[in-house]
A and B are shown apart, each in its own frame.
Chain A
């Protein structure tokens, strides 16, 4: 059905949306009800002054009736049709379909676009795994080292009589190669965890949001008085945010950070950090703000007020990491799978109970950190509705290194702790785990 013949359908839809009776519209534009009925059922052509009068009566632009709002919709339907496998949509009737069933047509178009977006994401991830030169080189080097270890170990096991000089040489080779393998595995996991931070090859919305937050140092004080439109405009022009999902997520985070900045301005925090000590609970009490706000604000302003930046990590009730401000020496895995011994997760079992714990991160450096964690409900508490929770943990580096009472890792894959009740999977580093 040609485009012109659908003008009547659009008039009918707009009239019904406006809750206007057919007779009333006919009266307003000076035609009979039966003639309008013929127009609405696409049995009379319409244009010129009558179309303008009807558009005016319905309070819409005449072009909306003559051209329809579905030009983009029809284009997307054509794309969806062209990419169909078994289905054979009647493309000659797409115009009629979009006109008669705009809701269903929009749904098809929306799902087609979503499918495209998902395919793009899958293709990008696959490409990263198969063509990333750094990844390919790392895996190649690790396999080569594994080959050397396997071959050398085989010689030591299978050769009954071996000269001491050769035995010593192979023992030395095994030691060197196992160290190389451990370092290679650690670097590879670190690379995979941090691959999105440089802004290259990012695919997931959260990665884009984190890149944007880190680029600004988690500081958005200039947006303190921004209204909703200005906030949206700021988000829309951020180069790291390439998808609408990422922009929406960024908007949520920015609203939170802006609200935090309003509740706890940097001027109120500054006096509490003059002696270089960090006491979130004292700041919260003195300033009368929730501890979660203090933790987020301290992480945001620490780059300016303290000699050493503070880290922050946030998770939901399922333990999925949703926000990360990394700090040197405390490796935070990309999304989930973090060490279950982190105070962040301990706090989940004790909502509203602040926790403070000094931890040592496993590894060669054995860096120590003071961790402050709090779990708070999301939104208002309602009767007979189970609350959802978010947990926050501020990570404060300590000057000294060494083992403290609590030892934590980053994620099981690269944790060298041999005995750990929280271990989910074997480590790539520890032998015999």
Chain B
């Protein structure tokens, strides 16, 4: 079994597509689709990387990330943030929250795959 990626995203067809391309690349993929209990899910699963959407029902990706960075076990966990907002201020906000990488929608499959590989193995 390869390393684990947890995809936290509320759009089911994006979850399905990312899961497919990562699985084909040898990753073990887990998914979650709301912000309410996302922190607990991450702490329970302890994946090798989290793909985290910003706009989630219940809690924003920024808040989730800030909470994760406050916990020792996830303080350095690679987190790839996805957002439809590509302005400088959004990128800065993601950096301040502790994002390892920031990717703006719409992205290509190759970009996601490259980012995941770099963040986990690179």
Contacts and interface: CB of A to CB of B under 8 A. Distances in A.
B121 interface: no
A155 B21 contact: yes
Contact of A151 (B18, B24, B85): B18
A150 B107 CA distance: 8
Contact of B13 (A139, A159, A166, A176): A176
A237 B53 CA distance: 49
Nearest to B53: A144
A159 B110 CA distance: 12
Nearest to B17: A151
A155 B109 contact: yes
A148 B110 CA distance: 14
Given A143-B106, A146-B105, A166-B20, A151 B84 contact: no
A143 B13 CA distance: 13
Interface string B1-33: 000000000010110111011001000000000
A264 to B, nearest CB: 53
B108 interface: yes
Given A155-B20, A169-B16, A150 B106 contact: yes
Chain A: interface size category? 20 to 34
Given A140-B85, A155-B21, A166-B20, A177 B13 contact: yes
B17 A155 contact: yes
A158 B11 contact: no
Contacts of B115: none
Given A143-B106, A147-B107, A159-B24, A152 B55 contact: no
Contacts of A169: 16
Task: Give the dominant DSSP class at A's interface.
Answer: helix
A176 B24 CA distance: 24
Contacts of B13: 148, 152, 173, 176-177
B24 A147 contact: no
Contacts of A177: 13
A152 B108 CA distance: 10
Given A140-B55, A173-B16, A176-B13, A147 B105 contact: yes
B20 A144 contact: no
A154 interface: yes
Contacts of B110: 154
B8 to A, nearest CB: 14
B105 A143 contact: yes
Nearest to B106: A147
A138 B108 CA distance: 21
A224 to B, nearest CB: 54
Interface in A220-273: none
Contacts of B14: 144, 147-148, 151
A152 B18 CA distance: 9
B11 A148 contact: yes
Nearest to B9: A144
Query: Which has the most chain B C-beta neighbours within 10 Å: A147, A152, A155, A170?
Result: A147
A170 B112 CA distance: 18
A143 B53 CA distance: 13
A159 B17 CA distance: 12
Interface string B77-111: 00000001100000000000000000001111110
Contact of B84 (A144, A150, A176): A144
A127 to B, nearest CB: 15
Interface string A317-348: 00000000000000000000000000000000
Nearest to A137: B55
A140 B84 contact: yes
A143 B84 contact: yes
B84 A152 contact: no
Interface string A125-149: 0000000000000011001111111
Given A151-B18, A152-B17, A166-B20, A144 B11 contact: yes
Contacts of A159: 24
The 6 A-B residue pairs whose C-beta atoms are closest, nearest first, are A151-B17, A143-B84, A148-B13, A147-B106, A147-B105, A140-B84
Interface of B: 11, 13-14, 16-18, 20-21, 24, 55, 84-85, 105-110, 112
26 contacts: A140-B55, A140-B84, A140-B85, A143-B106, A144-B84, A145-B11, A147-B14, A147-B105, A147-B107, A148-B13, A148-B17, A150-B106, A150-B107, A150-B108, A151-B17, A151-B18, A151-B106, A152-B13, A152-B16, A154-B17, A154-B109, A154-B110, A155-B17, A169-B16, A170-B20, A173-B17
Given A146-B106, A150-B106, A151-B21, 6 more contacts: A148-B11, A151-B112, A152-B13, A155-B17, A166-B20, A169-B16
